[in-house]
Amino acid sequence: MDISKTSRLSLVEQVVAQIESLIQSDKWPVGTRIPPELDLMKQFDVSRNTLREAIRALVHAGLLQTRQGSGTYVSSSSVLGAAFYRHIKKSNLLETLEVRYALEREAARLAAQRRTDEDLEALKACLDECEAALQNDDRKRYAEADIKLHKTIVQAAHNNMLSDLYEHMTEALCASVHNLLEITPDIRVHSQLADAIAGQKPDQAMEAVNQYITGFKDTIHMEDKHEN
């Protein structure tokens, strides 16, 4: 059997890999404007053409975004996350909710079985943030706290693959949550979910997920009917 020789990474690929590492390690967080071209040429010890080709590749992959007259910004923390975001933009809200339902239902079931005392403390802190945001009628803050709450539940499932997948989807899921800001959230269902996880009741935890996702779907269907 013929085995092809492995090829060494080109300079462009090396720069791409280094920038990806800076982004994934959160040294360049999402929303950050990357350093000027001359600084990066010096940092990576490459020519302007090599750097620009690497930047173009990362823009195409969705990790970077070039804004005319402003610079280049980090738009996603991973290629997978960027791919999810592109799919979210092409998908309707109901499709996004169906994906959330599949992931969060299983995460809730596992969390109810595997949660630790530390997980419960983190979960309570997230609930407190959600409640505080609602009391101040701060929907943007609530959306951020909501995503943090669900990420905490996924982490409490103690399944590394599920955590990684959900983490990559977080940016896309944030977009879906912000689209739902006009829908009044029911914090009671989240409290029921937290109680079910604390009481190690998987069936009740899954039912709580079903309730809030179904509630979102019903509201969307009603709004569609009014528009038509």
Q: What is the mean pLDDT of the chain?
A: 82
CATH superfamily of 81-227: GntR ligand-binding domain-like (1.20.120.530)
Answer whether residue 79 shows pLDDT above 80.
no
Residues carrying CATH 1.20.120.530, the chain = 81-227
Q: Over pLDDT 70: what percentage of the chain? A: 77
pLDDT for residue 63 = 83
Mean pLDDT of 189-197: 94
Report the topology of domain 11-77. Arc Repressor Mutant, subunit A (1.10.10)
Distance CA 175, CA 212 (A): 17
Q: How many CA atoms lie within 13 A of 185 on its CB side?
A: 26
In the chain, where does the domain assigned CATH 1.10.10.10 lie? 11-77
Q: Which of 167, 183, 180 is nearest to 92 (CA)?
A: 180
- The confidence score (pLDDT) of residue 15 equals 92
pLDDT value of position 44? 93
pLDDT at 5: 42
Q: Is 80 exceeded by the pLDDT of residue 3?
A: no
pLDDT at 119: 96
Q: How far is residue 89 from each of residues 53, 86, 128, 172, 224, measured CA to CA in Å?
A: 26, 5, 31, 9, 19
pTM over 0.85: no
pLDDT band at residue 39 under the 50/70/90 scheme: very high
- pLDDT for residue 6 is more than 50: no
